[in-house]
Amino acid sequence: MKFQEGTEQQISRGIRATPSPAAEISGEMEKIHVSVRPRPLSTEEEAKASPWKISSDSIFMPRHSSHLSFNFDRIFREDCKTLQVYEARTKHIVSAALRGFNGTVFAYGQTNSGKTHTMRGSPTEPGLIPLALHDLFDSIYQDASREFLVRMSYLEIYNEDINDLLAPDHRKKLHIHENLQKGIFVAGLREEIVASPQQVLEFMELGESHRHIGETNMNLHSSRSHTIFRMIIESSQKTLDEGVGNAYDAVRVSVLNLVDLAGSERASKTGAEGVRLKEGSHINKSLMTLGTVIKKLSEGVEKQGGHVPYRDSKLTRILQPALGGNANTAIICNITLAPIHADETKSSLQFASRALRITNCVHVNEISTDAALLKRQKKEIEEHRSNTKTSRSDHSDEEILNLRNTLLKSELERERIAMELDEEKKAQAQREKVLQEQAKKIENLSSMVVFSNRDEKREQDHFKKGKRRDTWVSGHLSRDSTSEVQSHVLSRGPSLKSERSEREPGPLLPFAQVVENERLCSISEQDETLEDSALPDPYALVHVTRRKKPSSMRQKIPVVVESESDRAQREYEDLFLQSETEGITNEIRTEYLKEKLGENDLSGEATTCKHLDCRVVGNVHRGESSVQIRDPEDILLIKQLQEKINMLETERELDRLHSQRALLERYINKQHMGTSLVEMEKEKAVWSSTLSPKRMSEGKQRRRLWTPISFKNQGRKFWTPQEEEMLRMGVENIPWRKNIPWRKILAMGKNVFHKSRTPTDLKDKWKSICNKATLESSAS
Ligand SMILES: Nc1ncnc2c1ncn2[C@@H]1O[C@H](COP(=O)(O)OP(=O)(O)OP(=O)(O)O)[C@@H](O)[C@H]1O
């Protein structure tokens, strides 16, 4: 036997409690069907005449003072069979349950009125439940268009506790829950999948074994609890043929409740005590709530928004959908016509008569599964596609029409542009024609102008060449020499000019004659070049350098008038040449003294030493045979000569430094005076050439040469320009001696150097300072 819980099963099957729109639309108003079934009277009860009379579907008490009468949907007779009861209404409800409608049939009545007999039946007479089961499964078996899944549950409400009669632990209390998907349900209630009436009945037997049944004075097998037998019926259209059946192919889920209520009882009659009394109390309480709910519903309280006490009892809470909701409901009011139970029968009939006025809204419970949703969405997509296809077709036609209009406009525009282009071409041709005529006129006029310029240009070139030859004449630059050169050049000029004048404007010559003329002309040019290549004098070189300015500057600066920069340049060049001349003179003098010293030094000796440094070493043995020990007087002479040489070199170096310093000052002054950049760059180039690494290195070597000797005790090897100036003046103004107190001289002459205003004043002051310092140093 397989047990499954309904909740888990629904989840596993992907059922969603979302009613389909079709189900909502198919709601119908259904009244609760109420029928009355009187139990057959016993022999004792038949002995007494019944106060109740039944006529058709009415029951009344003819002897009652108010002529109590009740009308119902159906009033059975005492000898009626349960099958008649079933076919009267229950059969319809079962059939509706197979179509997806909820259905509830419950038996209501006092104890021992035949409720259990009606619902369950007896071995000889089946009750509504077996009849419904057989009828249900027979209908399922006969329906080939749908697939069904049937589950069943069986519970009891005992003393307001819910027990699962199919569960092994049937004493376990279950609780009622409610949600949007499942509605009101008992959590944990077992739902058994059943496929046949017999299988259901077997489960019922199991449940009956768990049911609370007690013995009372009125009933040997009195039901002490309310029992609810529930069939959950799911069905769906078979999918063998896609084109047949429900458009949504949803799952229909319906619930069929067959309820056997416990009977109301009076303790005085039942003799209930203890547990039975308690049971009877709960039974009566729940039945009273059921009566109140029925009363409220019959009065339309719920439709008016009033409160219906469904939650006051477990019974009404579970049966809430059947009483005031979505269910086909039938109430079988079991009564007894015995006079002894006339009041209980009257109460039951009053209860049943109220239920007659209750109307439920019934609709098919269709639940969309994932597959059904997928199928429906697929169908919707196909519908959208077809709609889109139609709209796209319309859209495409519209686009084609727009494109054609655009194409037509483009063609018209193209034709218009072509016409404008033709007109423009014609206008352009006309303009070109006019321009050509104007060009011819200009050419004619220009030819004459160019011819004149050519002559003028040739004269200028001739003047330039004469100027260049004038520049490159060797020797001192003078007006006389220039004129001589010019006359020399001019003496040859007419011949060349005559050749060119014969060649340029003259008539066409034979090719051989032209080649010969070219050769002669090139020879003449070579002669001019050879004449120009004579070595220039330094001044001429300077002028050549000046001529290497941009042509624009040559045109702007007059040649005859000497500018300030040219004058400064010329002064600088004079100074530079003077310095170089003096340097060369000093070198010649130095070499002369060296040679003279060498002659004195090496007279009578076989070995010649070329370096003075070697000689001043003094008493050195050069060899056993050739080297002689010098006389101390010779050594002294050598030292004196050496000192003189050093002094001359010092003077020359100071002169050079002085020249550089002067150049630097001029350069700086020109910067402040706003000298043009070209001139500054020129000065800078000259200044850099004087301070080239080679010359700097040479200057340092010279310094090192004389500094250790002349100023070896002064503690300094390098001097500032001011100190160098002072030293130079010291060398010039004091007689040479071995230990000159240069530091002292510098310290004493520092202020004098600055305060002296004229060179003569400075020279006199400096001489006195040198003498004073020398005397003080000698005295100390
Ligand atoms: N229609 C009927 N035909 C024959 N016997 C009947 C009929 N109705 C009831 N009985 C008999 O009456 C007795 C009591 O019936 P039943 O047990 O069904 O009453 P009940 O309403 O269920 O009582 P309780 O509420 O105490 O359970 C039973 O023995 C039953 O066989």
Pick from 529, 554, 579: which residue ends a domain?
Answer: 554
Pick from 667, 689, 710: which residue ends a domain?
Answer: 710
Q: Which atom of ligand 1 is nearest to the CA of 107?
A: 21
Summarised one tens digit per residue, pLDDT across range 689-714 is 444 444 444 444 444 333 333 344 44
- The confidence band for 779, taking pLDDT boundaries of 50, 70 and 90, is confident
Question: Could you tell me if 192 and 280 lie in one domain?
Answer: yes
For residue 762, is it within any domain? no
* 282 pocket-lining for ligand 1 (C-beta < 6 Å): no
Asked if 111 and 264 count as a contact pair (C-beta separation under 8 A), the reply is: yes
First vs last Cα of the chain: how many Å apart? Answer: 142
Asked if 360 and 328 count as a contact pair (C-beta separation under 8 A), the reply is: yes
Calculate how far, in angstroms, residue 116's C-alpha sits from the geometric centre of ligand 1.
6
Distance CA 117, CA 76 (A): 14
Summarised one tens digit per residue, pLDDT across range 392-425 is 666 667 777 888 888 888 888 888 888 888 888 8
Determine if residue 237 is labeled as part of a ligand binding site.
no
The DSSP code for 326 is: S
Pick from 350, 369, 388: which residue ends a domain?
Answer: 369
Identify the burial level of 526 via C-beta atoms within 10 angstroms of its C-beta, where 0-12 means exposed, 13-18 middle and 19 or more buried: exposed
Indicate whether 663 pLDDT > 60. yes
For residue 415, is it within any domain? no
Three-class DSSP category at 185:
strand
* Contacts for 235 with CB less than 8 Å, ≥ 6 apart: 98, 100, 143, 146, 147, 148, 149, 251, 252
Residue with the two structure tokens 């419950």: 106
Q: Which atom of ligand 1 is nearest to the CA of 82?
A: 1
Question: Could you tell me if 54 and 142 lie in one domain?
Answer: yes
- The confidence band for 34, taking pLDDT boundaries of 50, 70 and 90, is very high
For residue 311, is it within any domain? yes
Q: What is the pTM of this model?
A: 0.49
Distance CA 89, CA 663 (A): 138
* 223 pocket-lining for ligand 1 (C-beta < 6 Å): yes
Calculate how far, in angstroms, residue 350's C-alpha sits from the geometric centre of ligand 1.
21
Average pLDDT on 537-559 reads 42
Determine if residue 115 is labeled as part of a ligand binding site.
yes
Number of domains in the chain: 3
For residue 104, is it within any domain? yes
For residue 416, is it within any domain? no
Asked if 72 and 333 count as a contact pair (C-beta separation under 8 A), the reply is: yes
Question: Could you tell me if 504 and 593 lie in one domain?
Answer: no
Angle between helices 538-547 and 564-602 (to 10 degrees): 140
What pLDDT, on the 0 to 100 scale, is given for residue 530? 41
- The confidence band for 679, taking pLDDT boundaries of 50, 70 and 90, is low
Angle at 45 between CA 41 and CA 49, to 5 degrees: 105
What pLDDT, on the 0 to 100 scale, is given for residue 741? 72
Question: Could you tell me if 531 and 597 lie in one domain?
Answer: no
For residue 389, is it within any domain? no
Q: Around 661, how many Cα atoms within 13 Å sit in the side-chain half-sphere?
A: 12
Question: Could you tell me if 82 and 41 lie in one domain?
Answer: yes
Asked whether this complex has an ipTM greater than 0.95, the answer is yes
Question: Could you tell me if 331 and 354 lie in one domain?
Answer: yes
Hey, what amino acid is at 596? K
Nearest residue CA, atom 15 of ligand 1? 114
Q: Report the CATH number at residue 260.
A: 3.40.850.10
Question: Could you tell me if 524 and 569 lie in one domain?
Answer: no
- The confidence band for 84, taking pLDDT boundaries of 50, 70 and 90, is very high
* R_g (Cα) of the chain, nearest Å: 72
The per-residue pLDDT of the chain, averaged, comes to 70
Calculate how far, in angstroms, residue 294's C-alpha sits from the geometric centre of ligand 1.
24
Question: Could you tell me if 517 and 577 lie in one domain?
Answer: no
Q: How far is CA 459 from CA 124, 137, 465, 494, 532, in A?
A: 157, 137, 10, 12, 19
Asked if 455 and 497 count as a contact pair (C-beta separation under 8 A), the reply is: no
Question: Could you tell me if 84 and 147 lie in one domain?
Answer: yes
Provide the residue range defining the domain that includes 513: 500-554
Greatest Cα pair distance, the chain, in angstroms, is 196
What pLDDT, on the 0 to 100 scale, is given for residue 724? 65
Determine if residue 715 is labeled as part of a ligand binding site.
no
What pLDDT, on the 0 to 100 scale, is given for residue 630? 47
For residue 722, is it within any domain? no
Question: Could you tell me if 524 and 663 lie in one domain?
Answer: no
For residue 243, is it within any domain? yes
Question: Could you tell me if 604 and 680 lie in one domain?
Answer: yes
Asked if 339 and 46 count as a contact pair (C-beta separation under 8 A), the reply is: no
Q: Which of 15-24, 184-193, 261-270, 509-518 has the lowest mean pLDDT?
A: 15-24
Calculate how far, in angstroms, residue 121's C-alpha sits from the geometric centre of ligand 1.
9
Summarised one tens digit per residue, pLDDT across range 456-480 is 444 455 444 444 444 343 334 444 4
Question: Could you tell me if 537 and 580 lie in one domain?
Answer: no
What pLDDT, on the 0 to 100 scale, is given for residue 339? 87
Q: Which of 36-40, 169-173, 355-359, 439-443 has the lowest mean pLDDT?
A: 439-443
Asked if 328 and 104 count as a contact pair (C-beta separation under 8 A), the reply is: yes
Indicate whether 778 pLDDT > 90. no
Do the strands 146-158 and 190-194 form a parallel or antiparallel pair, or are they unpaired?
Answer: antiparallel
